[in-house]
Amino acid sequence: MSNTTDVCSKCGGQSIVKGDIDLRTSKDLELIMVVRKDHGVEKKVPLQPKVCGKCGFVDFYVQEPKNLKIGPTDKPIDPDFKQRPILEYDF
């Protein structure tokens, strides 16, 4: 059984470029992050690229998506955060 992370999602080739490949902004060299904000809590996970050596397609993924889950130990980034009431359009 082959590892799906080694397969290009565009051409299907198993020619993903190996090595340490990161995404960074050009101005401050910071990593590009996926940020989830919910209930006043902010969770960040680095976005990872996957580059196909055959067709050049670049795909993005999050290596540890479970780190985006908000748990009972997470505290809001604003200590004065008050949760808004649940409204009909939230469903």
pLDDT for residue 90: 56
Cβ atoms within 10 Å of 52's Cβ, excluding its own: 20
Q: What predicted TM-score, i.e. pTM, was given to this entire model?
A: 0.63
Query: Mind listing the pLDDT tens digit for each residue in 16-71?
Result: 999 888 888 888 888 888 888 887 888 999 999 999 999 999 999 998 889 888 88
pLDDT at 84 over 70: no
How many Å is the Cα radius of gyration of the chain? Answer: 18
What are residue 47's phi and psi, to 5 degrees? -85, 130
* Residue 61, both tokens: 């993924």
- Please state which of the ranges 8-17, 34-43, 79-88 shows the lowest mean pLDDT: 79-88
DSSP state of 77: S
